[in-house]
Amino acid sequence: MQNTITKTFHFSASHRLSKLPEGHKCTRLHGHNYAVTLTVLGEVDHTGMVIDYGELAPFRTWIDAHLDHRHLGVWDVYGPDGTVLDPAVLDFEPTAELLAGYLLSVARSMFTGEMAVTVRETDNTSATATATVATSS
């Protein structure tokens, strides 16, 4: 029998999306209080767990170090004098869908098994990316 566990992590960041129609509110610089839920699917082991929630700490550490209170996306934010106030930390425009896929690749570099990452920008909107990762033999 397969079971799933989930743990949600939070971070705040700014971004803008330039590929939307002119006048769309998301083309302007804005921010979100993101909720990222990591779901891991697997067999319950001898401890009675799929994975100990504490073992997910590296994912939290990575989010805190690379995304929290940062400017996401491909354009830096400049001050009135032309100096960079907030350098962009990604090389793509972070829609919820692309951010979920990106964070799934981060999680896949840390953990094995089938997993999903859901990125929630608001209480009403989210995007999910899923993948199966081969376990090492």
Catalytic annotation, pick one of 26, 55, 66, 114? 26
Contact 15, 94 (CB under 8 A): yes
- Would residue 69 show up in a list of annotated catalytic residues for this protein? yes
DSSP character at residue 3: E
Alpha-carbon distance of 54 to 40, in angstroms, equals 13
Catalytic annotation, pick one of 10, 24, 30, 69? 69
- Would residue 55 show up in a list of annotated catalytic residues for this protein? no
Tokens representing 38 are 């990591």
Q: Helices (H) and strands (E) in the chain — how many of each?
A: 2, 7
What count of residues does the chain have?
Answer: 137
Q: How many C-beta atoms surround the C-beta of residue 28 within 10 A?
A: 9
Q: In this structure, which amino acid lies at residue 62?
A: W
**Residues with catalytic annotation?**
26, 69, 121
